Chains A and B, each alone.
Chain A
């Protein structure tokens, strides 16, 4: 069964460092998303991406964040200068058209120390 894969599963980084979270969406999907979930809290939307550009972003997705689809398969989230409050589980998701089910990866747990 096709699945969204994310690497790494866990990343520990020093405050102020840059991190890149990687995702391989399902191959025939067209819409890509990043969400985050702070421990014990709800799943929060960060950004959606379609046709090689950002479709929508939340207020959380400030200038410290960027996304890229560097080739035909990877979709990355970069955090330029991490803060303690960026510690969370980050989920990548993809969907075929946007108004159908989203398939989520298993997440990357980011810990900023």
Chain B
């Protein structure tokens, strides 16, 4: 069956450290993968997109990697701040489809 799995447990880290979130997928063949941030009661907000032929993408303190062999994406937030506390969602397409399929999300809490 098709699955997109993210760490179901909340991730607590100390301010200033690097947070690393994982997204693993099974039985999908994505052309691209995206990461979104979601705050409670709000809609997802786009952060980064990485294509299948890219290994790594960066934007300010954010970095995403995409390994199509391992079927995994890693999302890093460096120098984390309490304001980074939120749920982070990975989303992928399934080649040739007109939809984004979301993972379950990982709740990140950055402690001051």
Are A and B physically bound partners?
yes
Residues of B contacting A93 in the complex (Cβ-Cβ under 8 angstroms)? 43, 100
The proximity string for A residues 68-81 relative to B, scoring 1 for CB distances below 8 Å and 0 otherwise, is 00000000000000
B44 in contact with A43 (CB, 8 Å): yes
Instruction: Give chain A nearest CB distance to B65 CB in angstroms.
Output: 18
A98 in contact with B98 (CB, 8 Å): yes
Near A by CB (< 8 A), chain B positions 12-51 give 31-32, 34, 36, 38, 41-46, 49
Nearest A residue (CB) for B95: A99
A contact residues, range? 20 to 34
A91 in contact with B44 (CB, 8 Å): yes
Q: For the complex, is A25 an interface residue (Cβ under 8 Å from B)?
A: no
Q: How far is the CA of A109 from the CA of B41 in the complex (A)?
A: 9
Residues of B contacting A109 in the complex (Cβ-Cβ under 8 angstroms)? 41
Which of A42, A48, A107 contacts B43, CB < 8 Å? A107
Which of B100, B103, B104 contacts A33, CB < 8 Å? B100
Residues of A contacting B31 in the complex (Cβ-Cβ under 8 angstroms)? 99
Instruction: Give chain B nearest CB distance to A29 CB in angstroms.
Output: 13
Residues of A contacting B34 in the complex (Cβ-Cβ under 8 angstroms)? 101-102
Nearest B residue (CB) for A107: B43
A104 in contact with B44 (CB, 8 Å): yes
Instruction: Give chain B nearest CB distance to A51 CB in angstroms.
Output: 11
Instruction: Give chain A nearest CB distance to B57 CB in angstroms.
Output: 12
Residues of B contacting A103 in the complex (Cβ-Cβ under 8 angstroms)? 46
Near B by CB (< 8 A), chain A positions 47-95 give 48, 50, 55-56, 58, 89, 91, 93
Instruction: Give chain B nearest CB distance to A27 CB in angstroms.
Output: 18
Residues of B contacting A44 in the complex (Cβ-Cβ under 8 angstroms)? 102
Residues of A contacting B97 in the complex (Cβ-Cβ under 8 angstroms)? 56
Q: For the complex, is B101 an interface residue (Cβ under 8 Å from A)?
A: yes
Considering residues A93, A100, A101, which has the most beta carbons from chain B within 10 angstroms of its beta carbon? A101
Q: Which residues of B contact A (CB under 8 A)?
A: 31-32, 34, 36, 38, 41-46, 49, 89, 91, 93, 97-105
Q: Which residues of A contact B (CB under 8 A)?
A: 4, 31, 33, 35, 41-45, 48, 50, 55-56, 58, 89, 91, 93, 98-107, 109
